[in-house]
Structure formats: C-alpha cells, structure tokens
Amino acid sequence: MHAETVIEPQTNYEPSIRDREDAIVDWIKEQKQKLNSTQKDFHSFHLHMRDLERALLRDHTHADFFSNVIKRLSPQELTLLNNLYCLWETLLERRFVQFLDKEVVKHYLDYPLYARFERLIEREVKLLDGYKPKRLLFIGSGPMPITALCLQHRLGTQIDCLERYPEAVSESQMVMKKLRMEGAINVFQGLGENHDMSKYDVILIALLAKPKEAILQNILQHCDDDVRIICRTSDNSRHVFYEPTLDNAIPAPLVIKDYARADVDDTISSVLLRKELQS
C-alpha cells in the first residue's frame, strides 16, 4: 500500500513579472478613478495623487518594468492622468499662493514640492556646465514660480517669467512682491511661440509649456546661435504624470547635447539643446 502523497502549500510564491504588471496597471486605473471623482475635494485628491507618486517615482533599475506598464495604458487614459496631475499641481500652487498672501507661510522654502524643485534646478544648472546666464527666460512659470525662485537663488541673474494665463501672472506678481523679489524676477503675460526671445542667452521651457515645436522655432528665429535651451521632459513611469517632449518636436538645427534624468521621488527630466552649426 502506497503512502498518500501530501502536497504542501507553497509559502514562498513569487509573482511573475506579468502578474506584477497586471497588478500595477489595475491599481493605476483604480487610482485614476479615485482621482477623477475627488477633484473638488482637495484633501482626498492630494492624498490619492501622493499615493500614485510614491508607487511610480522609482529609480531607473525599474525602467523596463514600468515601460511595459505604460504601454498597457491607452492614450486616453494617459491623457486623463496627465490632466489630473496638471490640475493637482495648479491647485497646490494656488493654495500656497493664498497661504503666502495671508502670511500663513513666509518663504518659498515652505512650498510643499520645494525639495523636488531644488533637486531639479541643481541638475539643470549642471547642464549649463559653469556658464552663467546674462539674462534667463522661463517659459510657462505658473501661479507659483518656484523654478524662477530656485534659479535666482543659485545663479543670482536676471530672470524673466513668461506665462500665458492672466490670473497666474497676477498671482506670480503678488508672490514676488511678498518675497521682495521684484526686479530680480519679472513676470509677463505672453506666449512662447511669439514672444521676442532676442535678449536671452538661456531659455528654460516648462514641461507644460506648449506647443513645444512652435516655441523652439521662435527661439531659433530670434536668438543668437550660442543660445542655451533647457527643455523639460518626462520619461518612463513619469509619463503617467506628464506628456514627454518628443524628438520630432525638436526642429533642426537644434540637437540634444546633454540629458539630466529624474531620480527617485522626482518627476521631471531635462535636456540641453544647442544649435548644431554647419562648419
């Protein structure tokens, strides 16, 4: 008589890569629904967005995994997620501007994403490789121009901000007045695709500033040949948050000279563009 075979349950089961992809894709879609339904409740909206960031803002050892995950999200799903993230950032900025106006906070160091932007600016300044701008333009500065404030602190140079929306311009100008930065940082209303760029030797283009190709064509038309352009983009899992700047949006003779990649807990990467002159 044979002894009965006992099948022991597996206690060390490791899910396959496909199982893990399935799980994170399903979770992202659930988060999308939660975000979409809580847009008017900032507290809940904020918590869901931070959960999404914590899950996706990994280092680049996870690049292949997240590349497959992103491919399984439809263009419509990515567009909705991008729009929700843009809304969250705008609400976060506007709330901070209101707190600054009411003196609930006193300094831009109190901005919730300050540390993230400080790391971003550090990477972007390194792209300049020691070059100090004579005058810098930041296109797409938003209601709370944290980028301009961090840049001015590091470079000590004249910075102009260009913003398309009148309300955001008014909010930014109030911020500069509160922080006593008027003159060092100026905020203008205008469009990157038709603004006069001729007086700037360094131009920084925000990720949400569009249309990228038209903005870059305008820079090519008006700026000197040695202009340095830093154009923000997103890669890999960050496509959930931002639409990337595609290579076909970069007109000749501009070429990518250097790249600064977002790391853990960072959302934005940056490329340095220069004119490739014919010898």
pLDDT in tens, 174-216: 999 999 999 999 999 999 999 999 999 999 999 999 999 999 9
pLDDT score, position 8: 54
Options 3.40.50.150, 3.90.1150.10, 3.30.830.10, 1.10.8.60; CATH for 117-275 is 3.40.50.150
Which pLDDT tens digit goes with each residue over 138-175?
999 999 999 999 999 999 999 999 999 999 999 999 99
pLDDT score, position 7: 52
Q: What is the pTM of this model?
A: 0.91
In order of 45, 94, 99, 123, 124, the CA distances from 87 in angstroms are 10, 10, 18, 25, 25
Instruction: Quote the longest CA-to-CA distance of the chain.
Output: 95
pLDDT score, position 60: 86
Structure tokens that stand for 251 in this block: 């007109």
Average pLDDT of the chain, as a whole number? 94
Domain borders along the chain are: 19-108, 117-275
Strand order in the sheet with 228-233: 185-189, 158-163, 135-139, 202-205, 228-233, 269-275, 254-260
Which pLDDT tens digit goes with each residue over 1-45?
555 555 555 555 567 888 999 999 999 999 999 999 999 999 999
pLDDT score, position 11: 53
| Rounded-to-integer distance, Cα 70 and Cα 48, Å | 19
Confidence of residue 277 (pLDDT cuts 50, 70, 90): confident
Structure tokens that stand for 177 in this block: 């007045």
Structure tokens that stand for 213 in this block: 């190709």
pLDDT score, position 133: 96
Contact 65, 21 (CB under 8 A): yes
Which pLDDT tens digit goes with each residue over 229-254?
999 999 999 999 999 998 899 999 99
pLDDT score, position 112: 97
pLDDT score, position 10: 54
Which pLDDT tens digit goes with each residue over 46-55?
999 999 999 9
In order of 47, 52, 196, the CA distances from 214 in angstroms are 36, 32, 13
Confidence of residue 275 (pLDDT cuts 50, 70, 90): very high
Q: Which residues contact 223 (CB under 8 A, 6 or more apart)?
A: 197, 198, 200, 201, 203
pLDDT over 70, % of the chain? 94
pLDDT score, position 244: 95
Q: Which of 17, 47, 7, 11 is nearest to 31 (CA)?
A: 47
Which pLDDT tens digit goes with each residue over 66-99?
999 999 999 999 999 999 999 999 999 999 999 9
